[in-house]
Amino acid sequence: MNQTVEQIWLDPDHRKPSEWAEEERYLNNAPGYVGPWRFSYAPYLREPLDKLVDPDLDAVIFVGPAQCGKTELILNWAGFSIRAEPSDMTIFSPTQGNARDFSNRRIDRLHRDSEKVGKELLESRDADNKFDKHYKNGTILGLAWPTKAELAGKPIPRIALTDRDRMEDDIDGEGDPFDLATKRTTSYGSFAMTLCESSPSREITDFRYTPKTAHEAPPTTGILALYNRGDRRRWYMPCGRCGEFLEPRFELLEWDPFASALDAAETVRMKCPVCDGHTMPDERFTLAQNGLWLPDGCRIENGSVAGTPRRSKYASYWLEGCSAAFTNWPKLVAAYLTAEEEFDATLNEEPLRKFYNTDLGRPYKPKAAEAERTPEEMMARAEDFGRDPETGEIEIISETAFLIATVDVQKNMFVVQVWSVIPGEPYDLALVERFDIRKSRRRDEDGDIQWVKPGTYLEDWDLLIEQVIRRTYRMEGRAERMAIRIIGCDSGGKAGVTANAYAFWRLLKAMGLGNRFLLLKGTGTPNAPQVRETFPDASDRKNLATARGDVPVWMLNSNQLKNEANNRLASEVPNKGMVRIPKWNPAWLFKEFCSEILKDKGWVKAPGVRNNEAWDLLYYAIGLCMTKYIRCERPTFWDKPPVWANPTDPDNPFIVKPGAEPFAEKQKTSYDLTEIASKIA
């Protein structure tokens, strides 16, 4: 009996994608699993894979953690499209490098390990390229990355986007990559399909939201925003005791709270919210075979889905990390407790963020979102230290290991905060003093002193040598004085500041002070390292007049470091990361520490706030301590601190006698900056 063209197109060999995968897909992940594909390892992948050929749907969205096999949806769909239901397909990765890697590591291995798929390749030399594969039945498989040209090109019936949250939200001004992809498939009608998968990594846009339905994701961008457009399916499995279905969420896990991370992980079990019984880790595999996807608005009755699902042309799935096939509950608990331990030791939230995004498959809610600071609370916690009660002279707290300073460059002044670094796990920061440098050495026609103008006059930067680099402080209970170990200075801002900052650093380098004065610059890039040394050069046309590749600029991830700054301001235990502020400081300074609040796109000024210098200079100080010249955030730093971090060491070069100038024996006491500039120009 002859088949029509439509029948051949729809299902030429009458197999579902999941059936094809178990019959023809083969894995060779030595030394891991080697053998035929089996959904028993990841039963939650069967339904979304089969939905990829549902004529009533336009798209399938899959949200999940790492180690759950979500990329296998794309590979099984590609194999099915090559072998069982010939159809052109394009797979989009975040970057060109990612697309090349997907071609090498995923598609080439699909050809190699699944013999029947590999035999479909045309034998011509140009049939198997990095970014396109041609097959005997006429199918073309493309490997691409989001660009205007790629996403606005010719129609394609099947498109997959992998790792969506690593992609830009607006492609060359044309719009969201998912929306552009679905437009490319529309001319194929009921045969069109778009698959989008990713782990979530975007910020929540409203920390005070309340879910309107049981399965609604928090308001955010990227993959979870797409999930919310769909019918919002979540994975449930039966309790090992009462048989009632539950979503295996991390909050249901219990373990011994008094054991170490690894020992506690070995005691993990999942508590049923219905019967209070416990399911053990070795039962998870068996119970998962009876698991099912529950759409939003539905319920489970007698092991089956009942009710009316949310109407949508998108089938959307969100898998919790506790159900991921290629990890287990003890590993999750160990990872979580390790991240918590690092937070307790360093107040750095990034390991926790990674755990929630990558291991659990959830967006992360920063601790700063849980409460907002107030100046009144900070003033109530201020301490009585930092001034001689008789003379009023500023003195550093006795626990100080070394001093640092941070500088904010304003239009008409330098704003300076000096900090004591105090040993701890993590170290404390105690404010020594805050002062402004406003008056220059320049005079106008009437002989009056002019304001500092850092963006206009290079000679005004010379004031930082006199008033910061060579500044010393009286030590509490000692006759000696302490000099500042290192200074971090903002290198951006008003016009001319960057050029003068670079020129000033070159002058300091010629004076032998380059390693004691670091130029800093904040970046809001979400996944950037917390601290990174860069060397801007003339290849950046914006810096053509100032950058030669010789000036180091330390890039600070402002949002991450401000998260840590917030956590430090919330700490109330000495030697556990506190920010300690003397109570004699004016009220406006405490307000500046509370000048920003956390929003969806990061830290922003609170309504009605003008000045935030104290807050910025605090996060500069935290970043400065992470540079290669200090690194005191490391747990081992205080076990054997360097000479300059030990104020009792007689060889400490930053401890000087009263009246002595630091480093005077090695360098001149004054410099002609004009003369030095002429020598290095």
> Has residue 363 been placed in a domain?
no
- Mark whether 632 and 533 lie in a shared domain: yes
Residue 617 and residue 634: Cα distance in Å, rounded?
A: 21
Place of tokens 């000024």: 605
Q: Are residues 319 and 414 in the same domain?
A: no
78 in any annotated domain: yes
User: What are residue 132's phi and psi, to 5 degrees?
Assistant: -160, 140
Neighbours of 228 (CB within 10 A): 22
Q: Where are the beta strands (DSSP E) in 151-277?
A: 158-162, 193-198, 233-238, 245-246, 253-254, 269-271
The CATH number of whichever domain residue 141 belongs to comes to 3.40.50.300
pTM of this prediction?
0.73
CB atoms within 10 A of CB 241: 15
Nearest to residue 482, comparing CAs of 427, 420, 434, 422? 420
Pairing of strands 481-490, 517-523: parallel
pLDDT at 476: 87
Same domain, 320 and 426: no
**Pairing status of strand 89-92 against strand 193-198:** unpaired
Q: Which residue has the tokens 């209070």?
A: 276
Cα three-residue angle 446-448-451, rounded to 5 degrees: 130
In sequence order, the 6+-apart residues with CB closer than 8 A to the CB of 509 are none
- Is 255 contained in some domain? no
Q: Are residues 314 and 447 in the same domain?
A: no
User: What pairs with residue 554 in β-bridges?
Assistant: 520, 533
DSSP E strand stretches across 410-502: 414-422, 428-437, 439-443, 449-451, 472-475, 481-490
Length reported for the chain: 681
Contact status, residue 122 vs residue 134, Cβ threshold 8 Å: yes
With 0-12 CB in 10 A as exposed, 13-18 as middle and 19+ as buried, what is 113?
Answer: middle
Nearest-angstrom CA–CA distance, 41 and 328: 12
Give CA–CA dist 522/500, Å, rounded. Answer: 18
Residue 74: other Cβ atoms inside 10 A: 23
Q: What is the largest CA-CA distance in the chain?
A: 107
Domain annotation covers residue 337: no
Q: What SS3 state is found at 518?
A: strand
Residue pair 398/387 in contact by the 8 Å Cβ criterion: no
pLDDT tens-place string over residues 382-400: 999 999 888 889 999 999 9
Reduce the DSSP state of residue 321 to 3 states and report it.
helix
pLDDT at 389: 82
Claim to verify: residue 503 and residue 646 sit in the same structural domain:
yes
Residues 320 and 467 in one domain: no
What is the separation of C-alpha 673 from the centre of its chain, rounded to a whole number of angstroms? 42
Cβ atoms < 10 Å from Cβ of 261: 16
Residue 203 domain flag:
yes
Give a three-class secondary structure readout of 275-313: CCCEECHHHHHHHHCCCEEECCCEEEECCEEEECCCCCC
Quick: pLDDT tens for 498-551.
999 999 999 999 999 889 999 999 988 877 899 999 998 644 445 444 667 899
Measured CA to CA, the distance from residue 517 to residue 519 in angstroms comes to 7
For 539, the domain range is 394-680
Q: Is residue 289 part of a domain?
A: no
**Domain co-membership, 83 together with 226:** yes
Among 105, 200, 101, CA closest to 145 = 101
Whether the bond between 31 and the residue before it is cis, its omega within 30 degrees of 0, is yes
The SS3 call for residue 671 is: coil
How many angstroms separate the CA atoms of 131 and 446, rounded?
72
Residue 100 counted as domain residue: yes
Low-confidence ranges of the chain (pLDDT < 50): 1-8, 11, 538-541, 543-545, 664-671, 676, 679-681
Same domain for 321 and 401, yes or no, is no
How far apart CA 378 and CA 381 sit, in angstroms, is 5
Tell me how far apart the alpha carbons of residues 85 and 6 are, in angstroms, rounded to a whole number: 11
To the nearest 10°, report the CA torsion of 29, 30, 36, 38. -60
CB–CB of 231/310 below 8 Å?
yes
Task: Enter the tokens of residue 239.
Answer: 């309790």
Same domain, 430 and 563: yes
**Cis preceding-peptide flag for 65 (omega within 30 of 0):** no
**DSSP per-residue string spanning 470-487:** T-EEEETT-SSEEEEEEE
User: What is the number of domains present in the chain?
Assistant: 2
Q: Which strand (E) or helix (H) includes residue 299?
A: strand 298-301
| Distant-in-sequence, close-in-space partners of 567: CB < 8 Å, separation ≥ 6 | 343, 347, 349, 367, 368, 577
Same domain flag for 317 and 449: no
**Letter string b/e over residues 465-486, b meaning 16 or more CB atoms within 10 A of that residue's CB:** beebbbbbbbbeeeeebbbbbb
pLDDT of residue 5: 44
Q: Flag whether 497 is in a domain.
A: yes
Token readout for 608 is: 């009605």
The tokens for 386 are: 């930092």
Give CA angle at 216 (210, 222), nearest 5°: 105
**Distance (Å, rounded) from C-alpha 235 to C-alpha 63?**
11
Residues 522 and 421 in one domain: yes
564-568 long-range CB contacts below 8 Å, 24 or more apart?
564/346, 564/347, 564/348, 564/349, 564/619, 564/622, 565/615, 565/618, 565/619, 565/622, 566/366, 566/367, 566/368, 566/373, 566/598, 567/343, 567/347, 567/349, 567/367, 567/368, 568/347, 568/429, 568/618, 568/622
Q: Kindly state whether residues 322 and 399 are assigned to the same domain.
A: no
Token duo for residue 414:
């330098």
Spatial contact of 464 and 489, defined as CB atoms under 8 Å apart: yes
The CA-CA-CA angle for residues 276, 278, 282, to 5°, reads: 165
